[in-house]
Structure 1
Amino acid sequence: MTWIIITLVVLAVVAFLTYLYLPAFLRLLGIHPHYTIPDFDLNGRRALVVCTNHNRLDPSNKATGAFGSEFTVPYYAFVNAGLEVDMASPKGGEIPIQPGSWSWPLASDDDKRFMADKKAMHDLKNSKAIADLDPNDYDVIFMAGGWGAAYDLMQSDELADFVTRANAAGKILGSVCHGALGLCGAKGLDGDPLVKGRRVTGVTNNQINTFGIAITPKHPEEELRKLGAIFECQHAFRDPFATHTTIDGNLITGQNQNSGYETAHRILEKMATQRNL
């Protein structure tokens, strides 16, 4: 009987320590790495955060959506800098959340802040439809990832037109992970694909294979390369722990869920050098 009690106590201790320290261990490996964004005073400026509407992985029918930290991290980086932030999606309405991205051990501090923020949660469930918006009302358009984005960001004619017009107006265009697909339908000033000949990043084919989601219809690395983009990325002992951010004029892109902080930082840095358009 004694050994049973000892075993149960050991298992309870192990479970407690795992619950307590696994998030920190994952951060040490590279998931949501610690990153300090300097203070910026950009009051009066506006940002639009665009997420997916798609909530199912076809054909498995498993739930999917936007990856939490890929929009919550830039959302609060912008809010902290004094920006007014709107949430949008191709169709408008509710933005679904990718299962697991808002729960232990992956939930970031910004995820938790967002979930407790009544305005933010209202905007998440009632996002603005891209077709109803004017890019001239915003200083930066940021597109978040998550596996759902593979089904509707590149496929949205409305988003392609919106990003094309935003680029023509000189707005900053940012993305993380699958969010880069939102750049793929847009045109540059010369009528060629917006990303042609430009340095960009997004989730890699290797990362997609690691996560076992090659069934998704659009893969950022593949689509960006097809359009003539100069695709950049970093690798790690396991690529989901890699991170990279690229800056090419008004395009500021991050590789994956670990890149949100630096990508948002570089966007704010760029905004601080621009006049209010």
Structure 2
Amino acid sequence: MKMADRILIIVLAIALFLISLPKILRLLGFHPDYKRKDYNFEDRKALIITTSHDTLTKSGKPTGVYASEMTVPYYEFKKNGLEVELASINGGKIPIEPFSLKWPLKTEADQKFLNDQDFLNKAENSIPIHEINIDDYDLIFLAGGWGAAYDLGQSEELGQKITEAYSQNKIIGAVCHGPLGLLKAVDENGNALVKDKKITAVTDKQIKELRITETPYHPETELKKAGANFKSNNRLFDTLANNIEVDENIITGQNQNAAGETAQIMMKSLSEKPDS
């Protein structure tokens, strides 16, 4: 075989691999398929809450919400009739983890977001937490990403809002670093909301695997400190592990791969509420 032919075969093989990489990652567990059911939630509202923190403080690298943890539940809620609003700790422009919007990690929901002017406007002008009226919403979803490690678990205002949501039996969901937003909330007896509850979130193992350990709060560590009955699945790489826990009206997903299924379970729970 001529050298030119060998080079052509190698180039074609590399091109085929690159084209197939997103599908390969999906088969391995990155944003896997999950069971969906259609609902019709007219006059119902969902709120997605994200970080406002945009920098990994030690390295100086930009960060924020992991895109799919915002976009995937957003479109799950929208296509089932829910009105969806976005809030962040400080309000205004929501910072987005840059690499989460790049190939091969970018999802179909991410691409749709980039071409959705209404959604883009909401992400540019998110509602500050202190302005949120929990009474207005049926579903509350806490998105994760590295930025959330800097503000979700430290926000007294967010803790107050989640406390209100829990007391009103609102359905609360969270994935990856998002469950940090439960830390400042309390139950009807004034105990930590997560105490003795089955909760999952991004694992310490995954954080070490991704080599982003500089963040101040690690969900597994902090949730265990608060008394949560922390649950998780493990794989060779925890980035591809998936787990969802349901405890009363709190539904949590282990990492970004659980965002869509968590949203689906939240809607299922809403459909089963007596007043639905």
**Bin for the TM-score computed over the shorter chain:** over 0.9
Cα deviation 1:47-67 (Å, max 9, x = unaligned): 000011111111100111111
Letter in 2 for 1:30: G
Mean alpha-carbon deviation: is it higher for 12-21 or for 205-214?
Answer: 12-21
Q: Structure 2 CA distance, aligned partners of 1:58 and 1:9?
A: 45
| Equivalence for 2:106 | 107
Q: Structure 2 CA distance, aligned partners of 1:4 and 1:158?
A: 66
| Consecutive unaligned residues in structure 1, runs of 5 or more | none
| Equivalence for 2:232 | 233
Q: Does 1:186 align with 2:204?
A: no
Per-residue deviation at 1:3?
5.7
How many equivalent residue pairs? 276
Q: Structure 2 CA distance, aligned partners of 1:4 and 1:182?
A: 58
Q: Structure 2 CA distance, aligned partners of 1:30 and 1:92?
A: 33
| Equivalence for 2:203 | 204
Per-residue deviation at 1:275?
4.3
| Equivalence for 2:82 | 83
Q: Structure 2 CA distance, aligned partners of 1:89 and 1:124?
A: 9
Task: Name the TM-score, length of structure 1 as normaliser.
Answer: 0.96
Q: Structure 2 CA distance, aligned partners of 1:58 and 1:138?
A: 33
Q: Structure 2 CA distance, aligned partners of 1:119 and 1:37?
A: 25
Per-residue deviation at 1:14?
2.9
Letter in 1 for 2:99: G
SS in structure 2 opposite 1:57?
coil
Cα deviation 1:236-277 (Å, max 9, x = unaligned): 121111000000001000000111122111101000011458
Which stretches of structure 1, 4 residues or more, deviate above 3 A after TM superposition?
A: 2-8
Letter in 2 for 1:259: A
Cα deviation 1:189-248 (Å, max 9, x = unaligned): 110111011111000010111111111100111111001010011111211110000000
Q: Structure 1 CA distance, aligned partners of 2:46 and 2:186?
A: 21
| Equivalence for 2:67 | 68
Q: Does 1:46 align with 2:41?
A: no
| Equivalence for 1:13 | 12
Q: Structure 1 CA distance, aligned partners of 2:183 and 2:5?
A: 58
Q: Structure 2 CA distance, aligned partners of 1:185 and 1:212?
A: 27
SS in structure 2 opposite 1:88?
strand
Whether the 8 Å contact between 1:45 and 1:276 is mirrored in structure 2 is no
Q: Structure 2 CA distance, aligned partners of 1:267 and 1:26?
A: 26
CA separation of 1:238 and 1:123: change in aligned 2, threshold 3 A? same
Whether the 8 Å contact between 1:37 and 1:261 is mirrored in structure 2 is no
SS in structure 2 opposite 1:197?
coil
Letter in 1 for 2:69: E
Q: Structure 1 CA distance, aligned partners of 2:70 and 2:3?
A: 46
Whether the 8 Å contact between 1:93 and 1:129 is mirrored in structure 2 is yes
| Equivalence for 2:270 | 271
SS in structure 2 opposite 1:23?
helix
Q: Structure 2 CA distance, aligned partners of 1:166 and 1:226?
A: 23
Q: Structure 2 CA distance, aligned partners of 1:140 and 1:171?
A: 6
Task: Name the TM-score, length of structure 2 as normaliser.
Answer: 0.96
Letter in 2 for 1:182: G
Q: Structure 2 CA distance, aligned partners of 1:223 and 1:214?
A: 14
